[in-house]
Amino acid sequence: MKRMGSFLVLGLCAAVLCSGASCSSNASGDTNSEDATYAEQHAYHVCEGVFAYSTPVAVGSDQFANNQSLILGDAVMESSNGSTWQATSVHFISAVEPGTSHEMIYLTYTKAGGQPEEMIVAPNTCFLLTDGSLKYASHLTIADQIRMANGGAASVGAISAKLCSDGVVAIRVTPSFDTASDKYLNYNGLVSTEYFFDQW
**Res 30: pLDDT:** 37
* Dist. CA 16–CA 57, nearest whole Å: 18
Kindly give, in sequence order, each residue whose CB lies less than 8 Å from that of residue 51, ignoring residues fewer than 6 positions away: 67, 119, 120, 121, 122, 125, 168, 169, 170, 187
**Res 49: pLDDT:** 87
Indicate the burial class of 183 (C-beta count within 10 angstroms; 0-12, 13-18, 19 or more). middle
Q: Is 51 helix (H, G, I), strand (E, B) or coil?
A: strand
**Is 185:127 a contact under the CB 8 Å cutoff?**
no
pLDDT-derived band at 200, boundaries 50, 70, 90: very low
pLDDT-derived band at 182, boundaries 50, 70, 90: confident
pLDDT digits (tens, 9 = 90+) for 115-142: 999 999 999 899 999 999 999 999 999 9
pLDDT digits (tens, 9 = 90+) for 4-26: 333 333 344 444 433 222 223 33
- Residue with the bigger pLDDT between 32 and 195: it is 195
* Dist. CA 157–CA 50, nearest whole Å: 20
pLDDT-derived band at 39, boundaries 50, 70, 90: very low
Kindly give, in sequence order, each residue whose CB lies less than 8 Å from that of residue 171, ignoring residues fewer than 6 positions away: 49, 57, 67, 70, 76, 90, 92, 93, 185, 194, 195
* Dist. CA 172–CA 49, nearest whole Å: 8
Exposure b/e, 122-155, CB count within 10 A at least 16 = b: bbbbbbbbbeeebbbbbbbeeebebbbbeeebbb
**Is 39:170 a contact under the CB 8 Å cutoff?**
no
Model confidence at 148: pLDDT above 80: yes
Average the pLDDT over 86-101 and give the result.
91
- Residue with the bigger pLDDT between 39 and 197: it is 197
**Res 197: pLDDT:** 61
The domain segmentation of the chain, as residue ranges, is 3-175+182-199
Q: Which CATH class is domain 3-175+182-199?
A: mainly beta
Model confidence at 75: pLDDT above 90: yes
